[in-house]
């Protein structure tokens, strides 16, 4: 049984377009809210948390809804196609509202846009397991994750190249560049994949002995590990997402960067993460997932602590962000597999939901909490905030005793990317 790389690559175009959009959203929307509409840090953080709040409700609803849909072009592709078209139309209104300083138009369109994006993310993600046999989903997920990262890098490059270093830049060109990528990617997907004609056969899934004898309940030791692991996930997302959400504003106001210069640091972190996936996957198989995560958390805390030392921009900051990217890859590659390792095969979806419940809850809370500190204390509070939550996640991760099963020999290096 071999993975159909061509088909997987085509399917991954949907995820690539989604990641390109969210990179643009996370980077540019906070700048518009503050520089054009003069929102404070707390309100800006609240607005930036809306997508995660909506996602908590929208993703499971539309995922389940797409399971029941049956159209001539399939059950997932209609959501991807019409969701992308709607999102592109709506996102191109945002720079117009920004230029006209029309707050009502901007907020109304932004809210509808977030709902539109939430309507097709789950169907887009579900398309891969729909058309990929279970034994091959690790390889498929690796390729999809790489394509998603490529979408994020594309948006960062466009931000760097198309945003002028002026007091009030025009964001129309960068929004258009991302919109074109989204349309082209999904057009290729829809024209190439015949969802209803693809048939796969199910395959058995190995399970770890984690249940109490004669029951379907997790042992108390496994439950304890699961609680500590989910707590760790919540805490390191509190740290990481605070920095990624506020970084564009921090770089401009503290380090004095202009235009899209701040995108260089984010690009360095993303590329470093991509390049580190293979060695991290190899090392995780050698030394174990837990040790790799702990090493990543320590590196993450150290890089944030070092960030506190810079009062103006220095090329050394790019080195720190490279370390941040490697650290986050070490955490992200191993945390989700540890969660589902503590589940039986029939409950993988349930435990996947647990993973995203804790990670997305943190992404709802941390922009608001960190934004409050930025506004009422100082921008200098950003990195100490991230250090504290990183170290807290280290404390909880130490108590995780299960889910650290060393994988067998990989059939392909692509499996090292599975997260």
Task: Give 219-231 pLDDT, tens digit per residue.
Answer: 888 889 999 999 9
Query: Mean pLDDT, to the nearest integer, of 14-35?
Result: 92
Q: Give pLDDT, residue 90.
A: 97
Alpha carbon distance 43, 38 (integer Å): 10
pTM over 0.75: no
Q: Give pLDDT, residue 394.
A: 96
**Residue 391 pLDDT more than 90?**
yes
**How many C-beta neighbours within 10 Å does residue 70 have?**
9
Angle at 213 between CA 212 and CA 215, to 5 degrees: 70
Query: Mean pLDDT, to the nearest integer, of 293-298?
Result: 95
Bridge partners (DSSP) of residue 218 are: 211
DSSP string covering 327-370: HHHHHHHHHHHHHHHTS-GGGHHHHHHHHHHHHHHHHHHHHHHH
Reading the block at residue 147, the tokens are 């394509």
Reading the block at residue 333, the tokens are 């590659």
Query: What φ, ψ does residue 73 adopt, rounded to 5°?
Result: -105, 10
Q: Residues 6 or more apart from 393 whose CB is under 8 A from it? A: 231, 232, 233, 235, 236, 239, 297
pLDDT (tens digit per residue) in 233-281: 999 999 998 998 888 888 888 888 776 677 788 888 888 988 887 778 7
The DSSP letter of residue 375 is H
The CA R_g of the chain, rounded to the nearest whole Å, is: 21
Q: Residues 6 or more apart from 123 whose CB is under 8 A from it? A: 62, 63, 66, 75, 76, 79, 80, 83
Query: What φ, ψ does residue 236 adopt, rounded to 5°?
Result: -75, -25
Dihedral Cα 397, 398, 402, 408, nearest 10 deg: 90
User: Which own/partner pairs from 316-321 qualify as long-range (CB within 8 Å, at least 24 positions apart)?
Assistant: 317/255, 317/265, 318/264, 318/265, 318/268, 321/265, 321/266, 321/268, 321/269, 321/272
**Residue 413 pLDDT more than 60?**
no
């Amino acid at each position: 049984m071999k993975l159909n790389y061509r088909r997987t690559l085509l399917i991954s175009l949907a995820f690539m377009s989604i990641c390109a959009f969210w990179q643009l959203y996370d980077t540019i929307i906070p700048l518009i809210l503050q520089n054009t509409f003069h929102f404070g840090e707390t309100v800006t953080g609240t607005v930036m948390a809306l997508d995660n709040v909506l996602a908590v409700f929208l993703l499971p609803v539309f995922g389940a809804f797409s399971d029941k849909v049956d159209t001539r072009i399939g059950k997932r592709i209609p959501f991807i196609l019409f969701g992308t078209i709607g999102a592109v139309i709506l996102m191109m209104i945002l720079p117009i509202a920004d230029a006209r300083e029309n707050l009502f138009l901007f907020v109304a369109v932004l809210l509808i846009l977030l709902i539109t994006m939430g309507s097709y993310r789950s169907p887009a993600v579900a398309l891969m397991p729909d058309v990929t046999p279970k034994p091959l989903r690790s390889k498929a997920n690796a390729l999809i994750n790489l394509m998603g990262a490529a979408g994020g890098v594309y948006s960062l490059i466009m931000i760097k190249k198309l945003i002028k270093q002026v007091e009030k830049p025009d964001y129309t060109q960068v929004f258009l560049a991302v919109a074109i990528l989204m349309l082209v990617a999904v057009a290729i997907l829809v024209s190439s994949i015949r969802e209803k004609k693809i048939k796969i056969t199910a395959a058995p899934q190995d399970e770890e002995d984690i249940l109490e004898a004669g029951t379907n309940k997790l042992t108390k030791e496994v439950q304890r590990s699961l609680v500590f692991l989910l707590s760790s996930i919540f805490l390191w997302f509190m740290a990481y997402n605070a920095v990624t959400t506020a970084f564009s504003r921090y770089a401009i106001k503290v380090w004095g960067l202009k235009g899209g210069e701040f995108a260089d640091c984010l690009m360095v972190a993303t590329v470093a993460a991509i390049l580190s996936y293979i060695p991290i996957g190899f090392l995780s198989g050698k030394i174990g997932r837990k040790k790799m995560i702990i090493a990543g958390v320590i590196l993450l805390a150290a890089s944030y602590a070092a960030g506190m030392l810079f009062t103006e921009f220095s090329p050394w900051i790019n080195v720190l962000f490279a370390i941040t990217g490697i650290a986050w890859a070490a955490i992200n590659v191993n945390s989700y597999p540890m969660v589902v390792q503590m589940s039986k095969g029939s409950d993988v979806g349930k435990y996947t939901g647990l993973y995203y419940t804790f990670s997305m809850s943190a992404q709802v809370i941390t922009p608001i909490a960190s934004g409050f500190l930025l506004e009422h204390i100082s921008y200098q509070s950003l990195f100490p905030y991230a250090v504290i939550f990183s170290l807290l996640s280290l404390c909880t991760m130490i108590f995780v005793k299960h889910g650290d099963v060393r994988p067998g020999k990989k059939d392909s290096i692509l499996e090292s990317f599975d997260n």
